[in-house]
C-alpha cells in the first residue's frame, strides 16, 4: 500500500501533527487529528471498503460525505458505521464486514435522552445553513445548528477555487475561506453549534430527533431551516461499481479536506463546472488528468475553467462518454465511445484510456428525505435536479414553520445557497419574533441578490424551475 | 371530461384483497371488473405491514382461515409465477403474564384440535429457537413452524399482473367519491375520473372502508388506527422465526434481505386516518426491542413508517353482504391480520360474487353479528 497524503499544495496547507494509530484488521494504521477512518485507510492505499451483497463485488468509497454507505465497516464491534464521516481515534478497532455483517455481539448502554424546546433549528452547516443561522442569531433568535460532520462549511470546505458571483457574496474568495468565515461568524453570533450530530427525522409537529453519539436529543422547534444540500448523481455503464469510480465531490473531499490524492491518473466524466474545477484541483494536487469526457455536444461549465485545463494540456472530448470500466479489483482503465446527436453510440469509435480513477461529475440531486418525512408537498422539477419542495416567496414549505434553503430545494450554486440561507434566516426569525426594519432589509437584499444571480447565463434554468414550485397563500394539492 | 362506463363489478381498494379478488374472479371468467385504487397498488396497509403469516389464533374461524390461507400461499409462487419470499421460519409467541400462559394453553389445545401442529414451550426452549433472546421475564411461549413471513409487494403485483392479463381493468390514482344506490340496489360508483355503472361493489378499502360504506348509506363498526413499523440495517441470517409478544404489542422478524422488520402498538393511539411516523414509536420500539434482544443496542433503525389497522369491536374481519344494500360485499375490518388470511378471503368473496355456495362458511363474519349478540373476541392481536 502506497502513501497517498499530499505533502505540498499550492493553495492548501495540511498541518499534520500528533499522528496516532488505530487497528485495521490486525494492522496498525497511521492517522492524524481531523482525519476520518476512511480517509486514513485510503491514504494507506486501501481500495476495497466493502462488497456487494449478492456477487461480493468489491466496493470503494463513493461520496465521502456519509450519503452513499459504500464505506460501512465494523468499528469497536458496532457494524454499519459510515467510516467516511467517523473521525479516526487512537486505538479504535476497525474491520470490514461486507454488505451483510454478523448480528453484533456487543451491547451498548442505553443512550441518555435530552429533551428541549428551542426557537430555531438549522439542519446542515453548509453555506445555506450557516447563513440562515447567522441572520437568525444576529436578530435575536435562539438558534441551534446541526451537522453530522466534524467540520462546518459543508461542501465549501473542499472548494479551493475562487468564487464568481456577486461581490457581497464573496466573489474572488476561495470556497474554503468562505466556509471558515461563515463558521466563525456563526460562532460569534451566538449560534449553538452541534457537530457530529445526525438529525434522524422529523416528527409532528416541528420536532426533530438527533443522534449525538451517545445521546438521543429531541428538540421541539418553533421554526426549522432545512439546508442539507445535495447528493451526487451516478452514471450507468458496465463495471461502474469498481473501486476507483468516485463522485467528483467525494474526490474533492478526500483531496482538499483530508489531503489525500485519489490515485495517479484520473478520467473525468462530465464537463460542467464541477467536472472542470475538480480536474484543475487534481492537477494542483499533482494528479494527472488523462481526459475529460462530456456526453453533451458542448462544455457545460465556464469557459475560463475549461481554458485553464486546456492550457495544462488536458483534452476535453465533448460528445463522448464511458462505455465501460476495465479492471477486476479496481479501475485499470476505461473504454470510451462517441455519441451521435441522438445520444446513440457511434460504432467504431471505441478507444481505451489508461487510468486508475474514474471521477463522475454528472450533476446533483436535492437531498430531500427529511422533507418527505415531514409531509412537505413535493414536485418533480427537472430544471432543479429532481423532487423539490413547493415553497413560498420566503422559502417556507407547505408544513408551517419549515423552511428550506439551498440545494435541498433545487440545484443551483453556493452564492444562491448563501442568499437563500439569509432569506430563510430572516423569514423564520420574523415568523417567531415578529418583523423589524433590519429583517425586512435582509430579506429585500437577499431576494434582490437571488434575482440578480438568476438573471445570469446559468440562471435561466433554475429560474424556470423555481417558478414551477413557488406558491402563494395555501399550498396547492 | 366525465366518462360514463359500466362494469359487472367494481372493487374499491388496490391492496392484497382488491387485487386478489379480481384475480379469483378473472380466473373464473368474470373479467368485466374494475379495481379502483386512490394511490398506487399496495400503498395502504397491504404494502405497509410486516408480512407476518400466522396460524396461531385463539378463535376457530381465524385458525381455519389462516391454515387454509397458508396452504394457498405455499402454492402461490407457482400459480402466479412470482417469487413472494415466503420464509416459513415459524412464529415464536412469548408469554409474560400468568393470564397469557393460561390463554396460550387454551389456544394451543384448540389449534391442535383443528390440526395445527403448534406447541406450548418453556422459556428455555424459546431461547433455543432464538439464542439472542433475553428470557428473564419470559414465562413460556408457543411455537408453530409453518408460520412465517412474506414480502407483500410481489403478492399484490403478482395478482394484479395475472388479473390484468385476463382482462381486468386496474386503475391507480383514482379516488371513489360516491356510491349511487336506488332503493336496495347499487347503480354506479362515482370517481374523480368519471362514473362507472355497476350493480356490484366490493369494499376492500382497509382503513378507509367505513368511509366507503357510508357512501352507500351503510354504517360499519370498524375504525382506523395507526400502527407503526420500522426496519433495521441488514445482517446475515440470525433470526429464523417471527417473534411476537401480545403483552408488549411487539413483533419482529428478519427478512430474506437481512433487515429486521418489526412494529409495536401504541395502546393510547387515537382513532383516525393518520399515517405519520411518531417519535413515541421510534423510542418505544428501540427500547422494547433492546430489552427483548439486548444486542439490538448496537444496531441502527434505518426507516420507520406507518399504516392503518381497520379495527372491529371483536378484532375479526367483516365479510359478505350487508342487509341494507344488495351486492355490496364487505372485505374489511381485518384488525391487523388481513394479509395472512387474504388467500381464502379472496377466493370465498369471489365465490359469493359469482352467486355460488362459498367453499368455506363465513356466515359468522357477517356485519350482522354486531347487532345485539355476544361477540367472540380474537385475543391474538399484535402490533
Contacts of A209 in chain B (CB under 8 A): 279, 282
Same-fold call for A20-95 versus A112-231+365-468: no
* Three-state secondary structure of A251-313: HHHHHHHCCECCCCEEEEECCCHHHHHHHHHHHHCCCEEEEEEECCCCCCCCHHHHHHHHHCC
Asked if residue B229 and residue B138 are part of one domain, the reply reads yes
In a domain, B355, yes or no: yes
User: Whole domain around residue B288: which residue ranges?
Assistant: 87-146+223-311
CATH code of the domain in which B136 resides: 3.30.9.10
d(CA A111, CA A210): 12
Asked if residue B291 and residue B236 are part of one domain, the reply reads yes
Closest alpha carbon to B278 in B303, B301, B260, B304:
B304
Q: Does the distance separating the beta carbons of A107 and B297 come in below 8 Å?
A: yes
Q: Does the distance separating the beta carbons of A109 and B295 come in below 8 Å?
A: no
So what's the pLDDT on residue A457?
Answer: 74
CATH architecture of A20-95: Roll (3.10)
Could you say which of A104, A200, A201 has the minimum Cβ distance to residue B295? A104
Element (H, E) at A113: strand A112-123
> Vertex A375, ends A373 and A378: CA angle to 5°?
105
Residue of A nearest to B305 (CA): A373
Asked if residue B238 and residue B325 are part of one domain, the reply reads no
- Rg of chain A over CA atoms, in angstroms? 22
Q: Where are the domains of chain A?
A: 20-95, 112-231+365-468, 261-364
Sequence-separated (6 or more) residues with CB below 8 Å from residue B128: none
- Dump pLDDT digits (tens) for A306-360: 999 999 999 999 999 999 999 999 999 999 999 999 999 999 999 999 999 999 9
Asked if residue B271 and residue B232 are part of one domain, the reply reads yes
Q: Does the distance separating the beta carbons of A103 and B238 come in below 8 Å?
A: yes
In a domain, B92, yes or no: yes
- Rg of chain B over CA atoms, in angstroms? 21
User: Out of 3.90.1070.10, 3.40.50.970, 3.50.50.60, 3.40.50.150, which CATH number does the structure's domain A112-231+365-468 have?
Assistant: 3.50.50.60
Sequence-separated (6 or more) residues with CB below 8 Å from residue B64: B114, B360
SS3 A147: coil
Asked if residue B252 and residue B216 are part of one domain, the reply reads no
Residue of A nearest to B232 (CA): A80
Is any Cβ of chain A less than 8 angstroms from the Cβ of B278? yes
CATH code of the domain in which B186 resides: 3.50.50.60
Helix axes A437-455, A414-433, angle to 10 degrees: 150
Residue of B nearest to A220 (CA): B279
- Dump pLDDT digits (tens) for B83-124: 999 999 999 999 999 999 999 999 999 999 999 999 999 999
Asked if residue B296 and residue B236 are part of one domain, the reply reads yes
Q: Does the distance separating the beta carbons of A204 and B236 come in below 8 Å?
A: no
Asked if residue B10 and residue B33 are part of one domain, the reply reads yes
In a domain, B67, yes or no: no
Asked if residue B174 and residue B141 are part of one domain, the reply reads no
> Please, what is the average pLDDT of chain A?
93
So what's the pLDDT on residue A1?
Answer: 43
d(CA B196, CA B188): 5
What is the percent of chain A where pLDDT is above 90? 84
Asked if residue B230 and residue B158 are part of one domain, the reply reads no
Within A25-111, strands assigned E span 27-31, 50-51, 58-59, 72-75, 78-82, 93-95
User: Out of 3.40.225.10, 3.40.50.300, 1.10.260.40, 3.50.50.60, which CATH number does the structure's domain A261-364 have?
Assistant: 3.50.50.60
Contacts of A106 in chain B (CB under 8 A): 295, 297-298
Mutate to test the interface with B, among A72, A78, A103 (most CBs of B within 10 A): A103
Domain's final residue, options B311, B332, B360: B311
So what's the pLDDT on residue B61?
Answer: 85
pTM for the model stands at 0.92
Instruction: Chain B: give the shortest CA distance to residue A203, in Å.
Output: 6
d(CA A230, CA A247): 12
Residue A393 near residue A436, CB atoms below 8 Å: no
So what's the pLDDT on residue B1?
Answer: 46
Q: What ipTM was reported for this prediction?
A: 0.89
Could you say which of B233, B239, B277 has the minimum Cβ distance to residue A201? B277
CB within 8 Å of chain A, chain B residues 312-331: none
Instruction: Chain A: give the shortest CA distance to residue B323, in Å.
Output: 38
Contacts of B233 in chain A (CB under 8 A): 79-80
So what's the pLDDT on residue B371?
Answer: 85
CA dihedral A231, A236, A238, A241 (to 10 degrees): 20
Asked if residue B158 and residue B206 are part of one domain, the reply reads yes
Task: Provide the number of structural domains found in chain B.
Answer: 2
Contacts of B295 in chain A (CB under 8 A): 103-107
Please measure the distance between the N-terminal and C-terminal CA atoms of chain A and give it in whole angstroms: 56
Asked if residue B162 and residue B36 are part of one domain, the reply reads yes
Asked if residue B229 and residue B269 are part of one domain, the reply reads yes
Amino acid at each position: 500500500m502506497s502513501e497517498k497524503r499530499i505533502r505540498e499544495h499550492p493553495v492548501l496547507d495540511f498541518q499534520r501533527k500528533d499522528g496516532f494509530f488505530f487497528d485495521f484488521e490486525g494492522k496498525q494504521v497511521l492517522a492524524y487529528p481531523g482525519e476520518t477512518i476512511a480517509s486514513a485507510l485510503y491514504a494507506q492505499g486501501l481500495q476495497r471498503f466493502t462488497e456487494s451483497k449478492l456477487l461480493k463485488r468489491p466496493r470503494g468509497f463513493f461520496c465521502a460525505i456519509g450519503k452513499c454507505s459504500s464505506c460501512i465497516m465494523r468499528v469497536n464491534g458496532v457494524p454499519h458505521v459510515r467510516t467516511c464521516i467517523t473521525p479516526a481515534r487512537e486505538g479504535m478497532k476497525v474491520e470490514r464486514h461486507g454488505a451483510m455483517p454478523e448480528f453484533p455481539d456487543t451491547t451498548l448502554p442505553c443512550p441518555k435522552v435530552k429533551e428541549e424546546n428551542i426557537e430555531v433549528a438549522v439542519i446542515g452547516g453548509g453555506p445555506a445553513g450557516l447563513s440562515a443561522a447567522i441572520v437568525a442569531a444576529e436578530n435575536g433568535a435562539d438558534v441551534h445548528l446541526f451537522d453530522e460532520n466534524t467540520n462546518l462549511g459543508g461542501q465549501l470546505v473542499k472548494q479551493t477555487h475562487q468564487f464568481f458571483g456577486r461581490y457581497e457574496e464573496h466573489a474572488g474568495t476561495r470556497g474554503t475561506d468562505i466556509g471558515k468565515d461563515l463558521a466563525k461568524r456563526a460562532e460569534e453570533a451566538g449560534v449553538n453549534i452541534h457537530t457530529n450530530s445526525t438529525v434522524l427525522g422529523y416528527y409532528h409537529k416541528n420536532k426533530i430527533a438527533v443522534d449525538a453519539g451517545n445521546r438521543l436529543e429531541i428538540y421541539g422547534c418553533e421554526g426549522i431551516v432545512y439546508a442539507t444540500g445535495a447528493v451526487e448523481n451516478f452514471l450507468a455503464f458496465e463495471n461502474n461499481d469498481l473501486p476507483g469510480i468516485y463522485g467528483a465531490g467525494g474526490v474533492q473531499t478526500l483531496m482538499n479536506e483530508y489531503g489525500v490524492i485519489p490515485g495517479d491518473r484520473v478520467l473525468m466524466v462530465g464537463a460542467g463546472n464541477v467536472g472542470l474545477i475538480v480536474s484543475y484541483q487534481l492537477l494542483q494536487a499533482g494528479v494527472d488528468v488523462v481526459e475529460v469526457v462530456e456526453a453533451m455536444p458542448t462544455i457545460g461549465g465556464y469557459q475560463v475553467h475549461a481554458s485553464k485545463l486546456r492550457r495544462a494540456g488536458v483534452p476535453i472530448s465533448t460528445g463522448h462518454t464511458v462505455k465501460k470500466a476495465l479492471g477486476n479489483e479496481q479501475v485499470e482503465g476505461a473504454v470510451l465511445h462517441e455519441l451521435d446527436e441522438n445520444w446513440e453510440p457511434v460504432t467504431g469509435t471505441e478507444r481505451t484510456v489508461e487510468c486508475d480513477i474514474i471521477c463522475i461529475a454528472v450533476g446533483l440531486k436535492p437531498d430531500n428525505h427529511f422533507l418527505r418525512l415531514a409531509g412537505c408537498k413535493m414536485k418533480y422539477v427537472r430544471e432543479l435536479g429532481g423532487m423539490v419542495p413547493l415553497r413560498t416567496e420566503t422559502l417556507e414549505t407547505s408544513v408551517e414553520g419549515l423552511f428550506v434553503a439551498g440545494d435541498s430545494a433545487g440545484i443551483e450554486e453556493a452564492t444562491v445557497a448563501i442568499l437563500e440561507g439569509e432569506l430563510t434566516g430572516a423569514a423564520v426569525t420574523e415568523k417567531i419574533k415578529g418583523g423589524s426594519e433590519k429583517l425586512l432589509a435582509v430579506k429585500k437584499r437577499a431576494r434582490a441578490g437571488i434575482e440578480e444571480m438568476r438573471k445570469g447565463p446559468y440562471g435561466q434554468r433554475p429560474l424556470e424551475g423555481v417558478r414551477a414550485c413557488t406558491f402563494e397563500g395555501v399550498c396547492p394539492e | 371530461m366525465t366518462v360514463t362506463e359500466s362494469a359487472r363489478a367494481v372493487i374499491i381498494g388496490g391492496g392484497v384483497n382488491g387485487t386478489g379478488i379480481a384475480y379469483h374472479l378473472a380466473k373464473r371468467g368474470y373479467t368485466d371488473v374494475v379495481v379502483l385504487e386512490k394511490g398506487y397498488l399496495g400503498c395502504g396497509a397491504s404494502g405497509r405491514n410486516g408480512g407476518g403469516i400466522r396460524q396461531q389464533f385463539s378463535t376457530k374461524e381465524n385458525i381455519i382461515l389462516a391454515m387454509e390461507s397458508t396452504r394457498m400461499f405455499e402454492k402461490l409462487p407457482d400459480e402466479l409465477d412470482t417469487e413472494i419470499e415466503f420464509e416459513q421460519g415459524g412464529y415464536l409467541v412469548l408469554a409474560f403474564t400468568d393470564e397469557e400462559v393460561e390463554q396460550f394453553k387454551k389456544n394451543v389445545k384448540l389449534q391442535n384440535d383443528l390440526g395445527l401442529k403448534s406447541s406450548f414451550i418453556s422459556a428455555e426452549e424459546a431461547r433455543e429457537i432464538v439464542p439472542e433472546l433475553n428470557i428473564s421475564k419470559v414465562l413460556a411461549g408457543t411455537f408453530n413452524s409453518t408460520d412465517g413471513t412474506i414480502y407483500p409487494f410481489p403478492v399484490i403485483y403478482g395478482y394484479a399482473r395475472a388479473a390484468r392479463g385476463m382482462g381486468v381493468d386496474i386503475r391507480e390514482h383514482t379516488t371513489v367519491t360516491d356510491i349511487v344506490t336506488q332503493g336496495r340496489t347499487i347503480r354506479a360508483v362515482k370517481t374523480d375520473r368519471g362514473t362507472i355503472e355497476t350493480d356490484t361493489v366490493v369494499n376492500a378499502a382497509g382503513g378507509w372502508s367505513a368511509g366507503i360504506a357510508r357512501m352507500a348509506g351503510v354504517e360499519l363498526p370498524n375504525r382506523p388506527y395507526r400502527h407503526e413499523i420500522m426496519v433495521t440495517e441488514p445482517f446475515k441470517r440470525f433470526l429464523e422465526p417471527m417473534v411476537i409478544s401480545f403483552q408488549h404489542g411487539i413483533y419482529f422478524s428478519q427478512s430474506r434481505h437481512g433487515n429486521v422488520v418489526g412494529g409495536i402498538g401504541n395502546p393510547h393511539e387515537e382513532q383516525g386516518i393518520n399515517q405519520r411516523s411518531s417519535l413515541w414509536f421510534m423510542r418505544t420500539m428501540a427500547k422494547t426491542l433492546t430489552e427483548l434482544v439486548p444486542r439490538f443496542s448496537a444496531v441502527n433503525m434505518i426507516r420507520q413508517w406507518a399504516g392503518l389497522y381497520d379495527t372491529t369491536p371483536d378484532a375479526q374481519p367483516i365479510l359478505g353482504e350487508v342487509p341494507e344494500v344488495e351486492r355490496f360485499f364487505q372485505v374489511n375490518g381485518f384488525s391487523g391480520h388481513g394479509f395472512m388470511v387474504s388467500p381464502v378471503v379472496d377466493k370465498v368473496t369471489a365465490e359469493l360474487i359469482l352467486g355460488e355456495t362459498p367453499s368455506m362458511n363465513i356466515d359468522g363474519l357477517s356485519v350482522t353479528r354486531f347487532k345485539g349478540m355476544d361477540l367472540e373476541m380474537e385475543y391474538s392481536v399484535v402490533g
